[in-house]
A and B are shown apart, each in its own frame.
Chain A
């Protein structure tokens, strides 16, 4: 028996040693990379947490930034004008949405004569794309297609560290996308920086080097706000990040509200079942 326990102890030591190698391995892997840590900082968002809701005024401002700045290069092909007046969104009225849609020209057709024609946009139209096709987008943007923005806020993630898994799960951290977009817009380096041969110096960019393909898109004062909010890059990027989160997850509020009711119901139901089960088993030793 004692020799066997020793055997088991040996195996345990071996596993421990393997674990140590593992830790050492991860240290080597880190050392092998350049000492570049993207500067992504978590922000407080109104839509975070179990009762999170979008800030309507913020979404409206974000839409303005998107429309006047981002949409010059980025498409947003899964979002329609009508979404802007849907519950849990920026809260535009249907009249405002019709007016917004009417500002764009949409190609429609063919008509009864078999001809394509242009008409003013309707609420049911998707947001127009800035380029006719990916080739045109490439040609205008140094050979890279600017990514579609419909899902951007869910398609980027900062980290997948094993240490933060359980915490993120408990604290319901799902805002890595807007955190990243916000950080990117606020971490452009000086324009005369010589760090990057290609791309633009950006210390939040997730990559092996701090060089981002997109030039600094926005400066202080570029977009006019009507509600007295600050017209700074910091404020613009906060607003547009929130707007992109809404664009990627327009049913976020409905989801969280439903979730709260469902979970409360399930907990109450489980409690009743627990007492039922206890009563049934009361006379059986188990």
Chain B
């Protein structure tokens, strides 16, 4: 976005390469000289954290795949082989399984940061939509990965979720048979899930490149929600953002390590340590925690097709969010009403997650319905209206002024 590259080839080889493939200048412009708003807070480090998590998952997953066998007769035993006989197999598997959870923790923080600071607004709509595509791919990858250990919850989770497609009128049951590769979840299902589980992360990596490209075209949003006006407002990505990102990533990995080494089964379901048995249905079938809000929405609708539509609608509504929010002001810092509704949405989303883990009966169902209704009302009613009736606070004239105001100084030249 800054026009001509500031990269100067230093050596004869670099000059030679630059004329043939300007890859060093591309990396230089994207990750070194790229102008970064200087007022970014730590919520802006989650992009780097997510990249690190994607790398971690691909790396651990690649080695796990060398020892795992995607066959329903031996899949469960091959995971135990990894845990007991492979050198540091326990680290690979616990790291990968908890890695999925931490990938989702990071992506949820990243998404809610975007919601709070209006990062989806003009001109960042495509950037936002690419992010949503990554989120969808992550959900598919996470779901299929959970099936691979072939425990009870793997098997029955796969059965419940694939059965959702049977709600499609006319062709539903044919589609489900096609997905399964048979008349129930079985060996063909496990095999294709393994294949797709290995493929999708590379599709994620591809869309991440588009996501970063789009980001570098429009530039980063920032807590003030206003565009940088001069070079005073920005700092070069390296070393400023790089040092902050690396620090935040390592702190994130401290908490991640706590889970891997001390509470590795905390996010898992004990039932998944029982080998898949098509003849014994577990008392409570529930997905991994990161799907629970959507699971709650699914179950809150008494009609199967309606439930499926609402569940997918809960994500679809995020795709059109840039056009639902009518406010011209990005950051919730300057939107007193939106800020309140944002936090209500956070509470409702977490509440839906909790409800997704409860049995579908009595008061839980009523609460799920209220929360589901509110979730959609937030996006479809409150956001469009709010932009029309809310009076935002006066915006600072520049990022530098916002920084001075935050630090308690009077706007003056320094």
Contact = CB atoms under 8 A, between A and B. Distances in A.
Nearest to A276: B243
B251 interface: yes
Contact of A263 (B257, B270, B359): B257
Considering residues A25, A147, A274, which has the most beta carbons from chain B within 10 angstroms of its beta carbon? A25
A280 B344 contact: no
Interface stretch (A64-72, A91-99, A156-164): A156-164
A255 B340 contact: no
Contacts of B366: 21, 25
Nearest to B234: A284
B66 interface: no
Interface stretch (A8-16, A37-45, A194-202): A8-16
Considering residues B265, B363, B374, B414, which has the most beta carbons from chain A within 10 angstroms of its beta carbon? B363
A189 B220 CA distance: 66
B283 to A, nearest CB: 9
Interface string B248-266: 0011011001101111111
B263 A172 contact: yes
A174 B355 CA distance: 24
B254 A255 contact: no
A132 interface: no
Nearest to B266: A169
A157 B270 contact: yes
B43 interface: no
A1 B392 CA distance: 11
A285 B363 contact: no
A1 B337 CA distance: 10
10 contacts: A8-B340, A25-B364, A26-B358, A154-B270, A162-B354, A168-B266, A255-B91, A263-B254, A276-B247, A286-B235
B69 interface: no
A56 to B, nearest CB: 19
Contacts of B274: 147, 151, 155
Contacts of B285: none
B18 to A, nearest CB: 28
Contacts of B265: 154, 174
A285 B389 contact: no
Contacts, number: 156
Contact of A26 (B243, B364, B389): B364
A284 B244 CA distance: 13
Given A174-B266, A280-B239, A286 B403 contact: yes
Contacts of A4: 337, 389-390
Interface of B: 38-40, 77, 80, 83-84, 90-91, 94, 235, 239-240, 243-244, 246-247, 250-251, 253-254, 257-258, 260-266, 270-271, 273-275, 337, 340-341, 344, 347-348, 351, 354-355, 357-359, 361-364, 366-367, 370-371, 374, 382, 389-391, 400, 403-404, 407, 414
Contacts of B414: 285
A150 interface: yes
B403 A285 contact: yes
Contact of B341 (A11, A18, A160, A270): A11
Contacts of B354: 162
A160 to B, nearest CB: 7
B371 A273 contact: no
Contact of A8 (B254, B257, B337, B371): B337
Nearest to B391: A1
B340 to A, nearest CB: 5
A270 B361 CA distance: 47
B251 A270 contact: yes
A260 to B, nearest CB: 8
Nearest to A153: B273
A148 B93 CA distance: 22
A255 B90 contact: yes
Contact of A29 (B258, B263, B347, B363): B363
A208 to B, nearest CB: 9
A8 B363 contact: no
A22 interface: yes
Given A15-B344, A154-B265, A259-B261, A25 B362 contact: yes
Nearest to A176: B270
A219 to B, nearest CB: 29
Contacts of B254: 263, 266-267, 270
A162 B357 CA distance: 10
A54 to B, nearest CB: 15
B270 A155 contact: yes
